Amino acid sequence: MSSKRLYRSETNRMVCGVCAGVAEYFEIDPSLVRLGFLLFAAWGSLGLLAYLIAAVVIPSQSQI
C-alpha cells in the first residue's frame, strides 16, 4: 500500500510550488491546477487567500 503525501513541489514550481504539489498528489497536469487557482482568485480573491494559506501549511518536499 503506497501512501500519498501532499507537499509543495521544489522541482516544478512557479511561486511556492503549491499548485505543482497538488497536481502531483492528484496525478493531473499542474497547468490545470494553476488555471483553477487563477480563476478562483479572480472570482472573489478567495483563491489568493487559499494559496497563501496552503503555502504556509503544506510542507516542502525537502521536509518530508
Question: Is the predicted pLDDT of residue 43 greater than 90, yes or no?
Answer: no
The pLDDT of residue 53 is 92
The single residue listed with the C-alpha cell 487563477 is 38
Q: Is the pLDDT of residue 1 over 60?
A: no
Evaluate if residue 37 carries a pLDDT over 70: yes
Note the pLDDT tens digit of each residue in 3-30: 888 888 888 888 888 999 999 999 999 9
Return the domain boundaries, the chain. Answer: 18-58
